[in-house]
Each structure stands twice: as structure tokens, then as C-alpha cells.
Structure 1
Amino acid sequence: MTANNRNILSVSRLNAEVRLCLEKNIGIVWLTGEISNFTAATSGHWYLSLKDNQSQVKCAMFRGNNRRVMFKPKNGDQVLVRARVSMYEPRGDYQLILESMQPEGDGRLQQAFEQRKQALAAEGLFAQSAKQALPDQPKRVGIITSKTGAALHDILNVLKRRDPSLPVVIYPTLVQGQEAAVAIAQAIGRANARNECDVLIVGRGGGSLEDLWCFNEEIVARTIAASQIPIVSAVGHEVDVTIADFVADVRAPTPSAAAELVSRDLSYRLQQYQQREQALKNAIGTLLYRQQRALTQHEHRLSHQHPRRRLQQQSQHIDELQRRMHQALTKQFSRYSSQLNTLDTRLQRMTPDRRIQQHQAQLAQYHQRLTHAMDSHLSHAQQRLATLVATLDAVSPLATLSRGYSISRDSDGHIVTNINQLKEGDTLHTQLSNGDVTSVVQQRHLHQSPD
């Protein structure tokens, strides 16, 4: 049976097709495993294997991604990684291209947090339209926190300083541990049933992601969303973010800041401005979250076509060439060393001074030629890499943006090239070299062409 010439593939074509198949049909995966064979190349890239009790897989993490890893990986570490399934075509090796890496315990909690946040956001629990406004002058403030925690002490001190006459009702509850989420939900329900306060502060002091986890539980989020009394979330420090912060009517960066928000002060107008600022921050946060999701989707689509992929392949190939060159040089040095030992043995037997000098001169010549050849090969490889990088940078759309140009799109995503595409009040999205700007058209000025 004769094969059709159209069905005959080269090895390179086959490997390219397999790589595209892996990246298209499997794409991004999350997995855990133990690090082994970890190597940090001089280029800044990492190469390692992830293994479990039965299998292992080769991985590469390029310099642009491993700079964001907050710890130094080593052999034996258990990690959670986000990776793209791919293949290193020159060797035909199936491998993973790692995009993020975390220690397994913290990584699982962070992944669970992101998944729950996306699910609740899709249900509309974070929508600004569902949030209640805080009362301008509350008659009674409820505090839901631990009765022995520092957060309660801070809140009471601020309320006493700003408005000593403001009544306070404390609903003590657990704020850490497996039973804390149910206890917090019950305290919110009890405050709503008694209906003796017109605003509630729910929170605690700072801690680790695991310490604050009860405020990420679904029962707490849904109870806050169902509350008839406006709720201020005051969990941890300013850098701590929980699901409760997204669901609550207002998020305060600290318990003390929450007390500032709900208490009356001589600067009443300032309090109004703070509330409006917080509402604007929440709206911007929701908008940024949606834009980030859209950006992630676009980046994922772009990653299949971006010239960075080709550059990564070339960089990995250079690392492979350097490794093979080092092995070849080691073998060659070993061979010359063996020859030298043989000559030395013969010399010990014959002791001819002249032949010793000749062999030493020949050995020096070999060493000089070898060093020159190695330097020439390495210089050629570096020049080729620099040329490829310069070529890629010249054709990159990001280079055009970095020179001061921008791209504007209307609310439907169409690129704006003519002022007649816009009218006053339209939303305009402008892409710059280091971010996006969203603006609203207030006036239009048509530039008339000279006759």
C-alpha cells in the first residue's frame, strides 16, 4: 500500500500539530504536585518536574511569570500551579508552561476564594443597585464581633470620641474557626429580628487568609445580602479583602474606620462625602472586576497568537543549546585530559625534553582554538537572539502605544476613527501603553479641512 504524498508529514510539522492540539483542546489546567529536578537557568527561566506517587511531568516557567512567585521553590516543595499544556517541539517533549505557583495550602484557599467570588458576583450579590444607603444620622449602632477582640475596643473608642451620646448594642459572636460562620450569620439574623439598630458593623481584627475565612463563607455572604439593616463590613486591615466586603452595603478598611463612617461628627458634610466616595469606590471596583475578567479572556486568546510565544520557544532552545554545548565542551576537555595523561606517561618513560615542549605548545594551541570557537559560537547565538528580540519588538503593537499613540473604542467595542461615530454622553474606552482610560464625551469639535 503506497502512502499519499499529501499525508506524509515532517517530524517538525507533526510536533507543531501536536502542540497546537494540546494547547487548543486542554488549555489552562490547575494541578498540585511535588517539585523535583528544579533548575534555574542563566536566562532567568525555571525548569522542573512535578510528580506524585505514580507519574511526573516536565515544566517550564519563564522569567516574566516566575518574577511574580513570592517564595523560592526547591526540590520537595508541594505546590499548586496554574499551567498551559504545551510541547517543546525541538525534542518532542510534552510539557507544562507554568503561569503561577503557590504553596499548596495557601493556593487552595485563594483558588476557593476566587471561585466563590465569581459565583456570587454572577448571582448579583455584589451589584451596587442591591446595596442600602447608610443612615445620615443613626440613632443606634449594632456591633457584631468578638466580645474579647481588639476590634470591639477600637470601635468603642472611636464612637466614644466622635459621638458619646450614640447608643451601641453589642451582638457578641465567634469570628474565627469552623463554627464562626454560622455564629456570625445567627448574630446578623438576631439583630434583624430585634430591629433595634439602624446600622450594623460586622467585622474583626486582622489575620491570615485562614483566620478570616469565616467571612468568605457563603452563609455569611447570603445573610449579609438578606439583611434589612444596612451593614458595614470591617474585616481585618486595609489590605485584607473578604467576600463579606463585596456583599456588604459599605466596606470599611478597618474596624476603626467603620466606626468613623457610622458615627456623627461636627463635619457632617465630610461624612456625606466619605459615603459617596465609598459608593464610587464600590462601583469602580465592580467595573474593574468585570474589566479584569474581560482582559483575562482577551489575554488568553492573545496568548495563542502573541509573538511572545515564539520568543519563549527560542529562549528555551537557546538554553538547550547552552546545555548541550557545556556537555560537549566537558567531553572534549575530558578527552584532551586523557590524551595529556597518555603523553605524560610516555614522557615519564622516555623523558625527551624537546617532545615535552612540542606537546605543551600543541596543547596550548588546542586550548586557544577551543576557547576561540566557544566564544565565537556563543557570540553568534547572542547576536541572533538580540536580532530576534529587536524584530519582535519592532512589529509589536505595544511599541506603537509606547510612542504616545492610543486606541479608542465606543461602548460596543468598535474602534473610533471619525468624530461622527460619537455623540455627547457616549462612553469612550481608550487604551494606552500601560492601561485603559474610560471617559464620557462632553463636547465634540469637528476640524474643518482647509479649502
Structure 2
Amino acid sequence: MYSQTNSPANQSVYTVSRLNREIRTILERGFASIVLSGEISNFVAPSSGHWYFSLKDDKSQVRAAMWRGNNRYAKFRPKDGDQVQVQARVSLYEPRGDYQVIVEHMEAAGEGQLKQQFEALKMQLAAQGLFSSAHKKPLPSTINKVGVITSSTGAAIKDILTVLQRRAPQLEVVIYPCQVQGDQAHVGIIEKLEIANARNEVDVLIVGRGGGSLEDLWCFNHEQLAHAIYQSNLPVISAVGHEIDTTISDFVADIRAATPSAAAELVSPDSNQLRDAISHKRHQLHSAWRHQLHARQQQLQILQSRLAQQHPANQLMQQQQRLDELQMRLHHAMEARLSHQQRNLSQLGMRMQRANPSHQLASAKYQLQQLSSRLVAAQKEQVYTAQSQLAQLAARLDSISPLAVLARGYSITKGEQGIIKSVQQVQPQQLLTTVVADGEIKTQVIGVQPKG
């Protein structure tokens, strides 16, 4: 005796719906939030407001959907061929069993890749301790000489000199000119940092430039520059771009100024130094708050993803996607049906054209004309034949006509009882009429003499 514990009859039997539902749960838990880059293709935006498309690279592709509630915050409307970077979660479209990604945020690929590199380097340097507040040097209590590492022709140096002239014209300024934009700009900035530290002629260094795009400011996100700022013996103030711009230099520098003008205010003594100190603390608090906020946002995304797995709205979106798909299929089917009916109508029109009575009527009219012509010809031939026969009969009749006989010299004698054929019909003194060819002769019988 033995038991069939592994028999298929003892195994749990899955329905297709259950299998797809459980696979979707596994995918959404395992890939709650990913960053994905690729090229847009097969982009469709139906009347529901949702976006459906594919993300592909040179070897593979994956279907994607971006719900209306998320795509309305996109900075641009994508089209086929666009390179994008998206934040998404992996899911499964249960009705078809199709694996897909649900996009929650989208941006152009170039900017997204730079941001990704920025975040990766920031995490790497933070792990190495380059952002540690314990290493940051405070500003000297007395500042007499300020060094500025920036472009000698840019807006940043003009703003710094203007602020310093207004707030502390007694301060000496040493400018270390260099390029602050381009692939090799970080090399020049590092060189000026090393020169300033070697000379040790200033009390503090301002490193920065005016605002620009992420690409314009990218030299301040270089790892080598971060280490050079970290190793500087002089206090370094990072003043790159506008207030909303943030670079690696801002995190590793001893102090981060929102703008070059703000950096000039930090190094220039003023009666309102307490306000500057508060502003500095506010910036530090803001930086710490942003780090805390980022951590909380990541935790919130995880919780939202877990909630979305059980929320009815997720099922509603699935059904909406199914409805959009059915609407598109119906639209294509109706177009195909209409095209088929139009072809049938065209064929029936051609058949009706060929069966038009006007063609048969024209043919019958032609036949009638032919028959009429033949009838006229036959009638003429019959008349000619009749005329010929009549002429022959007239000739024959004329040959036996009494008039013809009279014309040959004969005559006809008539009495009161008609033509006289015998002498017995005549009496003496009887009045007779003799008909000849050219008239009649009245005679009176003198006597009658029979033959014999």
C-alpha cells in the first residue's frame, strides 16, 4: 500500500483569474517602486485621459500605463520616439495576463539620468562622510579678505562685488578666475582651490556661479571637486545657481549659500549678524528637513503601494484599462465593418449598372430598327413582286380584252337585249349599235340572211 501524496488530484487547482491575481500581488510587492528608462512607442491617449504606451530599448520592450491622475502633472506630453525616465511599479493586467508597469512620474531621459547620477553620487559621498557636519568649519569671527573662485566675466562675480561694496567696502577681494561650465570646468575649479589653500592669503573662499540648467551646473557635481572642497583648509562657501538649485558642492562645503549674493552677505560683517546666523541655521535645518522629508516620502510610497494593492481604485483602473481596450477594438471593428459594407455597396452598384434597363432598352431599340429596316425592305420587295405580277396579269388581260380585239379591226354589235351573237336575234328594221375601236356606229337592219 502507498499513498499518492503527489498526485495531481490532491493538488490545489488554480483558476486563471486566481493565478493572474496572485502573480500581480507578487509583482507589485516585489517591485513597488523602480526607476526605468527607455523609448516611448505605440503611444495612445484615449478619451478617458489615461496614457498607454510601450517602453523599449534595443532588445526588449514592456507595456506601460500612466493614469490620468498622474499624467496631468507631467511637464510634457510624450510621443513615439521620446527617450524618458519614469518612476513606476510593476503590475499585471489580469484580464489578459499581460505584465506591465504603472508609471507614476515621467521626465525627459537626459535630465532624469543626470538626476540619477546626482543621487547616486550624493549617497556615495554621504556614506564616505563628506557631508558630515562634524567636519564642517565655521566662518572666522573676523573676515578681512575674501577669495572668490568663479568666472571673471560672469554675473556671479558682479553680484558678489556689488553686495560687498554695499555692505563692507573695506573688505579685500581676491578673484581666482576659472571656467564654471563645461566638461573640464571642475579641473580649473580644483586648481584654484589648491592655489588658494597654498597661498593662504584669504580668510574664506566663495566657490560658485550664477544660475543655469542642470547640465550647466554639472561641474559642481563632480566627485573630484567634492573631495577637493572637503580637503580644503580654508572655509568654503558653496554659492551655485539660484535658491532652488542644489549641487554636490553645496552638501560638502562648509556653508551653502542660496545665491552668490547671499554668499557675499554671509562673509560681509553687518549690524544684523544675528539675522545671518539665523539664516544659516535655517539653511542647515532646511537641508536636514529635506533629508528627513525624502526618507518619509520613500516610506510613504511603500505604504501607498501596499494600500494600492488592496484599494478598489486599483481594480477600477484595471477595468478602465479594459474598457479603453474594448472601445479601441470596437472602433477598429466598426471601421472594418463599414469598409466591408462600402465595398459590398460598390459591387452592388456595379451590378445594378450592368443590369440597368436602359442598356436592354437600347439593345431592343437597335433590334427594332433592324427589324423595321428588314420589314420595309420586305414590303418593298413584295410591292415590286406584286407590281410585276400585276403587269403580267394586265398584259395577259389586255391580250384577251375586247378592246384589243376591236383595235385589230373587229367590232361588236349590240341590240336592245345585248350583244348580237346570232342573226336570229335581229329583225328587219331593228336599230343596232356597232362598237368599233374608236367609237360606235348606229345602223338599221334592212334585211337578215342566215348562213346556208
Range with greater deviation from structure 2 (334-343 or 107-116): 334-343
Whole-angstrom distance in 1 between the partners of 2:34 and 2:281: 41
Structure 2 residue aligned with 1:277: 282
Residue 215 of structure 1 pairs with residue 225 of structure 2: no
Structure 1 residue aligned with 2:131: 126
Whole-angstrom distance in 1 between the partners of 2:346 and 2:262: 79
Aligned 8 A contact 1:37 1:75 in 2: yes
Structure 1 residue aligned with 2:65: 60
Q: Which of 225, 229, 232 is matched with 2:230 structurally?
A: 225
Whole-angstrom distance in 1 between the partners of 2:93 and 2:69: 18
Aligned residues with identical type, % of pairs: 54
Deviation at 1:212, TM superposition (A): 0.8
Deviation at 1:305, TM superposition (A): 4.0
What 5-or-longer segments of structure 1 have no aligned partner?
Answer: 352-451
Deviation at 1:153, TM superposition (A): 1.9
| SS across alignment from 2:205 | strand
Aligned 8 A contact 2:29 2:306 in 1: no
Whole-angstrom distance in 2 between the partners of 1:282 and 1:344: 78
- Change in 2 beyond 3 A, CA 1:47/1:295: same
- Change in 2 beyond 3 A, CA 1:295/1:183: farther
Q: Bigger radius of gyration, 1 or 2?
A: 2
Residue 176 of structure 1 pairs with residue 176 of structure 2: no
TM-score (norm 2): 0.69
Structure 1 residue aligned with 2:50: 45
Residue 77 of structure 1 pairs with residue 71 of structure 2: no
Deviation at 1:276, TM superposition (A): 3.4
Whole-angstrom distance in 2 between the partners of 1:201 and 1:302: 48
Range with greater deviation from structure 2 (241-250 or 276-285): 276-285
| SS across alignment from 2:8 | coil
Structure 2 residue aligned with 1:162: 167
| SS across alignment from 1:7 | coil
Whole-angstrom distance in 2 between the partners of 1:308 and 1:52: 31
Structure 1 residue aligned with 2:261: 256
- Change in 2 beyond 3 A, CA 1:265/1:301: same
Aligned 8 A contact 2:150 2:209 in 1: yes
| SS across alignment from 2:245 | coil
TM-score (norm 1): 0.69
Aligned pairs (5 A) from 1:428-447 = none
Whole-angstrom distance in 1 between the partners of 2:172 and 2:93: 68
Deviation at 1:336, TM superposition (A): 6.8
| SS across alignment from 1:258 | helix
| SS across alignment from 2:179 | coil
- Change in 2 beyond 3 A, CA 1:296/1:91: closer
Corresponding letter in the other structure for 1:81:
V
Structure 1 residue aligned with 2:325: 320
Deviation at 1:295, TM superposition (A): 3.2
Aligned 8 A contact 2:41 2:54 in 1: yes
Whole-angstrom distance in 2 between the partners of 1:107 and 1:186: 30
Deviation at 1:89, TM superposition (A): 1.0
Aligned 8 A contact 1:142 1:197 in 2: yes
- Change in 2 beyond 3 A, CA 1:177/1:333: closer
Aligned 8 A contact 1:128 1:282 in 2: no
Whole-angstrom distance in 2 between the partners of 1:51 and 1:282: 37
Whole-angstrom distance in 1 between the partners of 2:13 and 2:89: 29
Q: Which of 310, 315, 326 is matched with 1:310 structurally?
A: 315
After superposition, the CA RMSD in angstroms is 3.0
Whole-angstrom distance in 2 between the partners of 1:270 and 1:51: 53
Q: Which of 153, 159, 163 is matched with 2:158 structurally?
A: 153
Deviation at 1:215, TM superposition (A): 0.5
Deviation at 1:275, TM superposition (A): 3.0
After superposition, what is the alpha-carbon deviation per residue over 1:116-138, rounded to whole angstroms, capped at 9, x for unaligned? 22232344433444433323431
- Change in 2 beyond 3 A, CA 1:137/1:294: farther
Deviation at 1:328, TM superposition (A): 5.0
Deviation at 1:269, TM superposition (A): 3.6
Corresponding letter in the other structure for 1:104:
A
What 5-or-longer segments of structure 2 have no aligned partner?
Answer: 1-5, 358-452
After superposition, what is the alpha-carbon deviation per residue over 1:132-187, rounded to whole angstroms, capped at 9, x for unaligned? 33234312211111223221122112111211111122222221222222322232
- Change in 2 beyond 3 A, CA 1:94/1:105: same
Aligned 8 A contact 1:80 1:102 in 2: yes
Corresponding letter in the other structure for 1:166:
L
Q: Which of 10, 14, 21 is matched with 1:16 structurally?
A: 21
Deviation at 1:93, TM superposition (A): 1.7
- Change in 2 beyond 3 A, CA 1:134/1:304: farther
- Change in 2 beyond 3 A, CA 1:84/1:287: closer
Whole-angstrom distance in 2 between the partners of 1:2 and 1:267: 85
Corresponding letter in the other structure for 1:79:
V
Corresponding letter in the other structure for 1:189:
E
Range with greater deviation from structure 2 (216-225 or 199-208): 216-225
- Change in 2 beyond 3 A, CA 1:293/1:133: farther
